[in-house]
Every structure is written in C-alpha cells, then in structure tokens.
Amino acid sequence: MKTVTVGVRRLFPDRDHDLPLPGYMSSGAAGLDLPAALEGEVTLAPGEIRLIPTGLALAIPEGYEGQIRPRSGLALRHGIGLVNSPGTIDSDYRGEIGLPVINLGPKPYTIRRGDRVAQLVIQAVCRVDLRLSLELDDTERGAQGFGHSGA
C-alpha cells in the first residue's frame, strides 16, 4: 500500500485543539473519519441540509484528490448522507473542508461537536486527453444504460 503525505492545518487552533485530527478507525480502513467542528450541536430535521464545518484545510499533492464520502453506519441507522457524494477536494484547494450533510431519515438527527460525520479518501487521479471522434469503437454493451443488466 502506497503512503502519500497530505498536509493538514487547523484553521482555528484555539477553538479546535480538543478535536482529533482525521484518522483511520481500523487497520484496513480506506477513509479517514472527519469530526464535526461545531461550537455546540446542530439538529437536522428530516430533509434538511446543513454545511457542517471541520475546521480543517488540506494540502493534497498534485496528482491526487480528496473524496468526501458518507459514513455507512450513519446512513444505515439514521439516513444521514452527503448531498454531493462523493465530494471532491482538488489538489489546489486550501480552504476549509465543509460537509454538506442531509438528513434523509424519518426523524430529526443531532450532530454534536467531535462527531465523526463523514470520511476522507485520498485517490490518485489522471488527466485525460480528450479527442473528438466521429465514431466510437463497438462494445458488447454498446449504448445500453440504466438497468441494462436487469437489476
């Protein structure tokens, strides 16, 4: 497994010194859990969307991106997700990482300071060279789209 160094900065160190840095919760985890840097708590009504701060900025190396993904346990147990999932953090972005959380569940859900709300996965990316073509090569699937496999 390759290790990539990503710089992390607390934007409000006096306020957030008590919060853990993002971390892997198991030896095989792909994502680092991100804590909520709330000054109190926020209760999301069903269907409500709120931007939850992390108080963190990242220096992701060129050639990589950060993907922000929901936590599966929150999604399954409470219907908590992210509006733009996965969200992308570009390597040249240095602002605060915000989490656009949505409550898709049937009951209000409260997020408290330090709650692990989402996860961050760092992935390699490649640039593509698009070439305009009049025709594309044939494949077995062809242009069959949504539901083509019968599921």
- Cα end-to-end span (Å), the chain: 34
The domain that holds 44 is classified in CATH as 2.70.40.10
| Residue 68 domain flag | yes
Q: Which domain holds residue 79?
A: 7-124
Task: Assess contact for 12 and 55: CB atoms under 8 A.
Answer: yes
In eight-state DSSP terms, residue 140 is S
| Residue 148 domain flag | no
| Residue 99 domain flag | yes
| Residue 41 domain flag | yes
pLDDT in tens, the chain (151 residues): 789 999 999 999 999 999 999 999 999 999 999 999 999 999 999 999 999 999 999 999 999 999 999 999 999 999 999 999 899 999 999 999 999 999 999 999 999 999 999 999 999 999 999 999 999 999 988 888 877 676 6
Residue 122 makes CB contacts below 8 A (sequence gap 6+) with 4, 6, 60, 64, 65, 66, 67
| Residue 139 domain flag | no
- Number of compact structural domains in the chain: 1
| Residue 56 domain flag | yes
| Residue 147 domain flag | no
| Residue 74 domain flag | yes
pTM for the whole structure: 0.88
